[in-house]
């Protein structure tokens, strides 16, 4: 193999997230969208449906917290595949800033939601497997309830805005820029090379 071809092979090998990373990313994407819908629906619905939706919201929220911890460990031990040279610096900066903010929000939301749950405090199991412990008992002081409540609402709307921008950018790369950045990195496209991360 010539030096140029072997360099190309190395670049291509790292072009895509591996199966574990892709499963983790896509399952989180689906769960987060479902979670946002459930949160808004629980807020708008009337009893007893509101309570049932909120129960599912709490269960899925804790699952997302577990997945984001797992994803953070994965990310700390596996570098992401590099972006192609065609991506301009401002887009790299914007993408990295958006990713960091999404990570942060995916910690803020379940944690603030869990604190808020302390005031609601009804016994709840986690998909029938165990009882969700209530570590923060909501007392008479409503300060933390307000902080957690505002965090939940504003972080959720910020996350929605980021996700919409993210999806728009992905579609732009796919159909206007036509570099197929997302499908090459995040889907099983046979035209691209093997993955390693
Ligand atoms: C990534 C995870 C989460 C997301 C994206 C999320 C999103 C949301 C959204 C969009 C709302 C409705 C806000 C509104 O319009 O009023 C909400 C409300 C709520 N969430 Fe979450 N949430 C998450 C995790 C959690 C967790 C883990 C819990 C509890 C353990 C929780 C408990 C609540 C509660 C109690 C409310 C009702 C707030 C109220 O109306 O006072 N959330 N959440």
Give me ligand 1 centre to Cα 156, in Å: 8
Radius of gyration of the chain (CA): 20
Distance 128 CA to ligand 1 centre (A): 21
* C-alpha distances out from residue 118 to 47, 115, 139, 144, 189, Å: 20, 5, 9, 10, 45
Best substitution site from 30, 39, 111, 154 to test ligand 1's pocket, by max atoms within 8 Å of Cβ? 39
Tokens linked to 16: 């895509």
Q: With a 6 A CB cut-off, is 35 part of the ligand 1 pocket?
A: yes
Q: Is the pLDDT of residue 40 over 80?
A: yes
- Residues 117-133: what's their mean pLDDT? 92
Atom 34 of ligand 1, residue of closest alpha carbon:
113
DSSP H stretches of helix in the chain? 3-13, 19-44, 49-77, 89-120, 143-175, 181-186
pLDDT at 71: 93
Q: Is 36 in the pocket of ligand 1 (CB under 6 A)?
A: yes
Mutate to test the pocket of ligand 1, among 56, 156, 162 (most ligand atoms within 8 A of CB): 156
Residue 193: predicted pLDDT: 42
Mean pLDDT over 3-21 rounds to 57
Query: How large is the average pLDDT for residues 163-191?
Result: 78
32 CB within 6 A, ligand 1: yes
80-124 per-position pLDDT tens digit: 888 878 888 998 899 899 999 999 999 999 999 999 998 887 899
For ligand 1, say whether the CB of 113 is within 6 Å of any of its atoms. yes
* DSSP for residue 145: H
Distance 27 CA to ligand 1 centre (A): 19
Cα distances (angstroms) measured from residue 63 to each of 14, 31, 68, 107, 191: 29, 9, 9, 12, 34
How many angstroms separate the CA atoms of 89 and 13, rounded? 23
- Mean of pLDDT values over 170-181: 80
Report whether residue 118 contacts ligand 1, using a CB cutoff of 6 Å.
no
Residue 66 pLDDT > 90: yes
| Model confidence at 197: pLDDT above 90 | no
Do 173 and 182 contact (CB within 8 A), yes or no?
yes
Across 19-37, average pLDDT: 93
What domains can be seen in the chain, in order of their start residue? 3-186 (1.20.950.20)
Give the global pTM: 0.86
Assess whether the C-beta atom of 110 lies below 6 angstroms from ligand 1: yes
Q: What is the pLDDT of residue 188?
A: 64
Strand partners, 131: 125
Mean pLDDT, residues 154-179 taken together: 90
Q: Is the pLDDT of residue 14 over 60?
A: no
């Amino acid at each position: 193999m010539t030096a140029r071809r072997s360099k190309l092979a190395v670049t291509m090998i790292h072009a895509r997230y591996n199966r574990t990373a892709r499963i983790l990313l896509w399952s989180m994407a689906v769960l987060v969208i479902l979670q946002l819908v459930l949160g808004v629906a629980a807020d708008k619905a009337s009893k007893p449906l509101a309570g049932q939706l909120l129960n599912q919201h709490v269960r899925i929220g804790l699952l997302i917290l577990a997945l984001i911890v797992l994803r953070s460990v994965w990310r700390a031990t596996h570098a992401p595949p590099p972006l192609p040279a065609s991506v301009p610096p401002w887009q790299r900066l914007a993408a990295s800033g958006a990713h960091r903010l999404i990570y942060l929000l995916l910690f803020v939301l379940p944690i603030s939601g869990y604190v808020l749950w302390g005031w609601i405090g009804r016994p709840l199991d986690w998909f029938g497997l165990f009882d969700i412990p209530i570590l923060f008992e909501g007392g008479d002081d409503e300060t933390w309830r307000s902080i957690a409540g505002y965090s939940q609402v504003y972080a959720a709307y910020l996350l929605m805005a980021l996700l919409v921008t993210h999806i728009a950018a992905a579609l732009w790369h796919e159909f206007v820029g036509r570099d197929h950045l997302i499908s090459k990195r995040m889907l099983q496209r046979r035209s691209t090379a093997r993955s390693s991360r």
